[in-house]
A and B are shown apart, each in its own frame.
Chain A
C-alpha cells in the first residue's frame, strides 16, 4: 500500500538548514496497522505529513497504492488525499462553524456529492461512532473524545485506503484514549484500512501490529507486537 525508499527532508529557515529525515525506507502492506514512536523532534510528524501529501520530500521515492508521488500539482494532490487518505489529528481540526454532521460530510462535499445524500451518509458514520444525537452540535459543544470520534468518522467517510493519525490520543485522558483505539482497531479489522499512528504512549503502540521507532531521522527499530 505504501512504499517509501530513501526519503530525505530538509527544512530551510533563513540561513539554517535542518536535515530532519535522513533516508527513510518503509513498506506498509494493505490492512496493516503500524505505530510510529520516537523522541520529540525526531521527525515522526514530518514523515506522516509527507505520506499524507501535505508536504513534499526532497529525495527518494514514495509510491502510494501504486501511484508515484512526485511533483504533483495541488489539484492532483488534493484529489489523492480525498480519495486515498484520511487524517486524524491530535487537535481534532474540526471546522468550527459546521456542526458534527456537516464536518463528517466535508470530504464528500469536495466530491460534489449532493448535500442531502452526503449528510445521510454522515449520519450513518456518526451512528457507528455512537454520536447520532450530537449530529447538530457544533464542535465547541463537544468533549475531546467526542470530537476525535467525529474526526475519525470524517476520515472514514470517503472510504480511504490509508488513515494517518498524528497523536490521535495526545489530547485525551487514558480511558478515552483506549476507547478511540478500540474504534481504530475495529475499523482496521473490519474494513481492512491501512493505518499509521504516531504516538508517545506505549500502551497505544502495543495495540498495533507493528511499531517502528524513529531516531534522529532514521528508522532504528521495528518491533512486532
Chain B
C-alpha cells in the first residue's frame, strides 16, 4: 500500500496529463469550495437571524388592543379600548393551555425626548411595567442585583432594573448602579438590577436601552389606571401557541364588546409562526445548498472518472505489460482507484481549506469593520460536516476510479499488450 513505486506511478500518471489533471482537479476543487462557501453563508444567515431571538420563548404570542372596525352592541366602529387587570385572571381561567401570561405596560421610547434623569445626565429610554414572569418568557443576562419580584409588584415599590446601555449613559464608568436613585418622568426609582441582552447586534442594543419596573408601580405612578399595554403569552410545552392565541382573542373580544367578526380590533403577533417560517426557510436553504453542492461535486467526480478513463486508455499497453509480469486485477484496480482517490481528495481538500479560509476571512472582516450585521453572523461550517464532505470525496474518488479500473482489467492481457 505504501510502496514508493505506487506513489511514483501516481505522480507520473497525473503529471503526464498536467492540463487535464489540473482541469479535473479544479472541477472537484470548485465543487467542494462552493459547497463549503454556500453552507457557511447559510449558517451565517441563520446565525444572523437567530440572534434576533435570543433566548426568547419562541412559542409566544403578543396581543394588544387596536381600534374596532365593526359596530357592535351599540358601539360605533373606530372605538378605542384598553385591556384591564381583570382580563389577566379571565384569560388564565379560560385557557388552561397557557404556561406564562405576562401583562405589560410601557412608557416612552428610546427615540423620544429624555425621560430618565440622574443628576446632570439623562437619556430617552423604553420603560416597561412588568411581572416577574416576563423574565421566564424573554430572559436577560442579569449582571448585578435582581429582576422584579412578586413583592415589588404587590407593594408597588418604586424599584427599577436597568439595561447596560442605560447604566453607561447615566452612571460613571466604574460606578455601582445598585441602590442608586434615578428619576423617571420626574419620579425617583431605586435601581435594584442591571442586565444585558441575550441577543446580539442591533436587537441587543435595543434591549440594553430598556428599564423594567413593577407592573403595578408603572400603572399607578404614571396614572394608567387599570390599563394594560399588551399581553405576552406562552403556551404549555407541546401545544401550538396558535391555540392559546385564538382562545385569548375570543375571550378578549367577548370581554371588550368587540364583534366576533372584527379582525382589526385586536392586534396580535405569533412568534412561533414566524419562527417556524424561519426554520423552514433555513431548512430549505440547507437542502438547496446540498443539492447544488452535491451536483457540482458530482460533476467534478464525473470529470475525475472521465480523466481516469482517458488515462487508462492511454496506458493500456503499459497495463498489459504489468499484467504479463504478474500484476493481478486487484493490484491494477487498486492502483487506478488510488490514483483517482488521491486526485479527488487532494483537490477536495484544497477546496475545503480555501472555502473555510474564505469564510474565516469574511468573519474577520465583518468583525473588524464592526458592521451592523443584523442578517449575517459568524459564517462557518461544522467540523463534522467538513469531515463528512471529505469522506464523501474519498468514496466518490474510489467510485470514480472503479469504472476505468474495471475497464482496464476487462480486456485480455494480450489485447492490452498489442494495443497501439
Chain A interface (Cβ < 8 Å from any Cβ of B): 49, 52, 54-56, 74-75, 77-79, 81-83, 87, 89, 93-98, 102, 106-107, 109-111, 115, 154, 158
Q: What are 21 sample pairs from A and B whose C-beta atoms fall under 8 A apart?
A: A74-B328, A74-B413, A78-B327, A78-B329, A81-B324, A93-B321, A93-B417, A95-B318, A97-B8, A97-B12, A98-B8, A102-B5, A102-B8, A106-B325, A107-B326, A109-B3, A110-B325, A110-B326, A115-B3, A115-B5, A158-B326
The answer to whether B239 has its CB under 8 Å from any CB of chain A is no
The answer to whether B368 has its CB under 8 Å from any CB of chain A is no
Question: Which positions 80-95 of chain B face chain A at CB distance < 8 Å?
Answer: none
A78 to B322, CA, bound (A): 10
- Contacts between the two chains (Cβ within 8 Å), count: 72
Q: Mark B303-324, 1 if CB is under 8 A from A, else 0.
A: 0000000000000011001111
Say yes or no: A79 contacts B414, CB within 8 Å. Answer: no
Say yes or no: B324 contacts A87, CB within 8 Å. Answer: yes
A76 to B331, CA, bound (A): 13
Report B407 CB to chain A, min CB distance, Å. 14
Question: Which positions 316-368 of chain B face chain A at CB distance < 8 Å?
Answer: 317-318, 321-331
Say yes or no: B412 contacts A79, CB within 8 Å. Answer: no
| Chain B residue at minimum C-beta to C-beta distance from A106 | B325
Q: Mark B389-420, 1 if CB is under 8 A from A, else 0.
A: 00000000000000000000100111001000
Question: Which positions 1-55 of chain B face chain A at CB distance < 8 Å?
Answer: 3-5, 8-9, 12, 16
A106 to B331, CA, bound (A): 12
Chain B interface (Cβ < 8 Å from any Cβ of A): 3-5, 8-9, 12, 16, 317-318, 321-331, 409, 412-414, 417
Say yes or no: B329 contacts A75, CB within 8 Å. Answer: yes
Report A119 CB to chain B, min CB distance, Å. 10
Report B301 CB to chain A, min CB distance, Å. 26
- Given A54-B417, A96-B318, A106-B322; A78-B9 close (CB under 8 Å): no
| Chain A residue at minimum C-beta to C-beta distance from B330 | A75
Say yes or no: A54 contacts B326, CB within 8 Å. Answer: no
A155 to B337, CA, bound (A): 28
Contacts of B3 in A (CB 8 A): 109, 115
Residue in contact with B331 in the complex, picked from A55, A87, A110, CB distance below 8 Å:
A110
Say yes or no: A49 contacts B414, CB within 8 Å. Answer: yes
| Chain B residue at minimum C-beta to C-beta distance from A50 | B414
A89 to B8, CA, bound (A): 25
- Given A95-B322, A96-B318, A109-B5; A78-B414 close (CB under 8 Å): no
Contacts of A94 in B (CB 8 A): 321
A79 to B413, CA, bound (A): 13
A82 to B5, CA, bound (A): 18
Contacts of A96 in B (CB 8 A): 318
| Chain B residue at minimum C-beta to C-beta distance from A112 | B3
| Chain A residue at minimum C-beta to C-beta distance from B15 | A97
Contacts of B412 in A (CB 8 A): 54-56
* Centre residue among B317, B318, B321, B329 by max chain A CB count within 10 A: B321
A158 to B324, CA, bound (A): 13
Report B402 CB to chain A, min CB distance, Å. 16
A115 to B16, CA, bound (A): 24
Say yes or no: A82 contacts B326, CB within 8 Å. Answer: yes
Say yes or no: A54 contacts B414, CB within 8 Å. Answer: yes
A74 to B410, CA, bound (A): 9
A154 to B326, CA, bound (A): 12
A74 to B331, CA, bound (A): 12
* Centre residue among B318, B326, B327 by max chain A CB count within 10 A: B326
| Chain A residue at minimum C-beta to C-beta distance from B415 | A55
Contacts of A79 in B (CB 8 A): 326, 328
| Chain A residue at minimum C-beta to C-beta distance from B329 | A74
- Given A93-B321, A96-B318, A109-B3; A55-B328 close (CB under 8 Å): no
